[in-house]
Amino acid sequence: MPYFADMYNPKYNNRSQGNYGISFYSLTLLLCILSFSNITLVVAQAQIKKAAKPKLVVGIVIDQMRWDYLYRFKSLYSTGGFNRLINEGFSCDNTIIPYIPTYTAPGHTCIYTGSIPAINGIVGNNWFERSINKNVYCTDDSSVSGVGSNSIWGKMSPKNLWGTTISDELRLSNNFQSRVIGISLKDRGAILPVGHSANAAYWYDDVAGKWISSTYYMQALPQWVDEVNKKNYPASVAGKPWETLLPIEKYTLSAVDNNKYENNIDGKPPVFPHTIAANSATKYQEFKFTPYAITYTFDMASAAITNEELGGKGVTDLLAVSISPTDYIGHSFGPNSIEIEDTYLRLDKDIEKFLSVLDQKFGKNNYLVFLTADHGVAHVPAFLQEHHIPAGVFNEYGLTDEINKAAESALGVKIIVKAVENSQVYINTDSTAYKNRSLSDIKAFVINYLKAKDYISDVYEMEKVSKASLPDVLKTRIINGFQPKRCGDIGFIAKPNYFSGGSTGTTHGSWGGYDAHIPLLWLGWNIKAGKTDDEIFMTDIAPTLAALLNIQSPSGNVGKVIKEVIQ
């Protein structure tokens, strides 16, 4: 049989031989080739059309995840969880939070707004609101009511957030056809990422032990959420011990299980196994401090995908998932505990299972996932001290009374400080309280008082920080975190590894790498495998999403597109 090239060979192009230019077999082969080529072209075009945008964007925020957890526990992770994200996705290994304080509410807000507290208004989990003369929680909203619960935990909304999120911009881009849902045990982890126009946000009521929402989003829970709540998973694991996934002697990357600087979650010594008593009045609160609550969150996310048909109606939808138990466990036990190591091994398996759900539902290249953290965490000071590393704790909340008593004794004036929050002092601006003292006298007294504290390295007036004698990196982060309407008058910086807290457990909030260096991984639609060690900022996540989706960046965005991710 002649080859395709033989069509032009005289041997097969001789009418006298009864061959009319192309043999029957050559013609058949040519038609088959052309047909196959056409089919290939049609399939390729269909794939291009299908991949024009992802069906679903999933943001996964691991509350309190230090960047080094990615590699510290890497050899113990499965191939399908964190290691899949690292090996098949794109990792931004030097992602930094560009403001202080590094807390949950500002972190979640920054990720999805590309903005900073100075612009988006979320300056902390809490702040002192001068206009009403009291402390405010970031998602408080007395004008709404709980849905699914009558407790105060339902009176929440995004009203304190200024500007849009990438979730809002996605909805705006197609006249609100995209559906956006937020899920987290913490209300702030569910509400702030999805912005003002979300279809729903669900969070956990730890008194009732179930998922709830507020009238900001709906008047009644959907039937599928009621069905999830009826299963009462938190109660079903009460009495079930949290034991280590591996034999405990395999946890060589952690300190010994029984030590004096960890908290407990069950009223017993902080050692394995940890068990929530089935008849405990606080079992729903204690549930948050176990890896079972991680599984509970991912199961809720999977249920939302299925029941809301996310990614199934021809437009890109967005699901914001925040994993809160890592924060609760981390605060209690610290980053060098067996509890944290075991939690991340179990989290790895939950991520593997969740990615498998996405694979089966949409196909590997039809969804886009990014995974990051809202902040990191410091080592427990007592643990560091044990190893001759300088560290310590102080009582920030006690400073209000402490400074006021000192001022009354030294100056003869009362109540010069209204509150101390987020390492900021809110001065009483009522000058009638100062008698013959000026406001500048009062500020000078507070500054000198704080400078005398051994644990404080720097003190400054918030509005004059640009002229303060501070390293530029500190100035930038202070300015980025400063919103005059919601921040204090005087700020201070604690020494590295010093924070406000007790003798056990740990926290976060500083500019240090342990708090401000976070993971950032991308996987799925249009993402090539690779990594960068270039300095990336948390503010760069939202504009990168905007570039990938060809939509407008959020209204307060100050970030830049991560070119390595979109190329």
Catalytic residue chosen out of the listed positions 104, 164, 244, 275: 104
Nearest to 99 by CA among 81, 118, 80, 75: 118
- Tokens 């945008």 locate to 53
Element (H, E) at 210: strand 210-214
Q: How open is the CA angle 50-53-59, to the nearest 5 degrees?
A: 130
Of residues 322, 310, 374, 368, the one with CA closest to residue 347: 322
Give the DSSP per-residue string, 407-424.
Answer: HHHHHS----EEEEETTE
Give bridge partners of residue 317 from the DSSP assignment: 56
Q: How far apart are CA 146 and CA 318, in angstroms?
A: 23
Dihedrals φ, ψ of 263, to 5°? -85, 175
- Beta bridge partners of residue 322, listed in sequence order: 61, 184
Active-site residue, 544 included: no
Residue 223: Cβ-neighbour burial (10 angstroms; 0-12, 13-18, 19+): exposed
Say how far apart CA 510 and CA 66 lie, in whole Å.
Answer: 13
Closest CA to 244 of 102, 378, 340: 340
Cβ-based neighbour number of residue 280 at 10 Å: 16
Residue with tokens 């809002």: 168
Please give the Cα distance from 394 to 549 (Å, whole number).
46
> Do residues 113 and 554 lie in contact, with contact meaning Cβ atoms separated by under 8 Å?
yes
Residues serving a catalytic function are 104
